[in-house]
Structure formats: structure tokens, C-alpha cells
Amino acid sequence: MNPAIPNWSGKRVWVIGASTGIGAETARLLLAKGARVALSARRKPELDVIAAGNPAAMTITVDIVDEATILAACDTILAQWQAIDLVLVVAGGYNEMRADQFDLAVANDLLDLNVRGVFNCLSAVLPVLLRQGSGGIGIVGSVAGYSGLPKALIYGATKAAIINLCESLYLDLRPRGIGVYLINPGFVATPLTSQNDFKMPALMSAADAGAALVDGLEKGDFHIHFPKRFTNVLRFARLLPYRWYFALIHKVTGL
């Protein structure tokens, strides 16, 4: 559904959320494959460790909830590269929440990070990609966005918004020569998931998740999801009648 990427040599990739987890491992892999990578996150020391003096890497501190930092970073990248071949928005947050624990301040913080932060990134990069008439953008959602799940009262809603957003972006941008990638991981061992107090089916390492993400990009997939033995089960479950779906989730989770 997108053009394949058979060779990363010289590709200019901006990874937003590259300090830890999937973003960090994806950035490392792309550098190893010969891409030029701009690594962005709030914490520069972690970015510098990943860049490790590699001349193909640059590090730029941003906070995606602050549009000004994203716009400034985009200007810096264009000043050095003149164009951007791919933007990956990996930054995001996670909080467990159920209805009897609802906290509006926490909910708003998560909305700022997972939804409004993505819009801030779009504000910076969409004009660049449209002006170029080439390149692509990938946004990390989550399988929690497929359908409602216990403990994901706000997180799941933010990721459902990302899924809908990417679908709309594809319809608008692909005819203009711009690739769009919806990236939905399952459970990945990262600082975000370390707080979970329940068994995480098909838990995978961040390195394996980064490899699966890059593999999907190389194939030109629109919907990049992993590990498929888990994500495909949830994709099927959302097609069930609600009576069956709710009963299944209750039985599996005990919640």
C-alpha cells in the first residue's frame, strides 16, 4: 500500500521519541542499515548514547507537547538535509485507568502527549512532505486502540484516535505521493509496560519490535502490527458482536 524501501542508504529519517524503547531500537537499526537519522526526545543524554558519534546521526531535543520545539527541530533538520524522507512519531505515554479511578488531570496529560502531541508533529511535517510531494510518515498507535479493554480507559481512546487519524491521512496523502504507516505494537518490554501488574501475552523485546517495525516499512505496509500471533487475535475479536466480545475479554482478563 506504500512504496517498498529496499535500501536505507542515505535515507533521511526523523525519529521522534528515540530515547528509549521501540524508538531507540528503530533508530539504532536504521543507522546500522545506512540511513541518516535525526533522533529527537526530551532527554538528550540518551539520544547521544544512541548516536554514539555516528556522523549519520544528529540529536535534537524536543517535547512533542510543545509545538515550538517541534517546529524548531524541523527547521534545523531541513537546514542540514534540505528534505525529509520519513518521519516516525514514536513518542507517547501510558497510564492504567479504570472508570472507578478516573482522574481528569491524568487523562488530559495523556491526551496532550498521545494525541495533541501527534498533531503538533503533523503541524511541522505535513507542509514539508506536501511541498516535496514525496516521503512518508509513520505514527505509533497500539493494539489497545482496536477495541475497548480493561485498564485502558484513556490510553485506549487515545490510540483509537491515532488509528482513525492514520486511516484519514492515508486517504489524503497517498494520492499525493506520500506514504502513511500505522504502527500498532502489542506488548513490548519498555519502561512504559514495566509498570503493568498483569501477564502480558506475547511480550516481545524492544529490539524485536524495532526490527518488526522496520520490516513493515521496507515492505511498504500501511498497517504494521506485531507480534502477529497476538495482534491478529485482537483484530479478529473486534469483529465479534459486542455480547461475544465483552464476554471474551472478561473471560481472558478476569476483569
Amino acid code (one letter) for 49: V
Task: Please confirm, yes or no, whether 170 is among the known catalytic residues.
Answer: no
Report the 3 state secondary structure along 200-237.
CCCCEEHHHHHHHHHHHHHHCCCEEEECHHHHHHHHHH
Structure-block grid coordinates of residue 119: 498533531
Torsion sign (Cα): 18, 24, 30, 33: positive
Q: How many residues does the chain have?
A: 255
> How far apart (Å, rounded) are the C-alpha atoms in residues 70 and 61?
9
Could you tell me which of 14, 12, 20 has the C-alpha nearest to residue 210? 20
Choose, from 155, 170, 181, 242, the residue flagged as catalytic. Answer: 155
Residues 15, 36: contact at Cβ < 8 Å? no
Of 67, 17, 28, 3, whose CA–CA distance to 211 is shortest?
28
User: Could you list the active site residues?
Assistant: 155
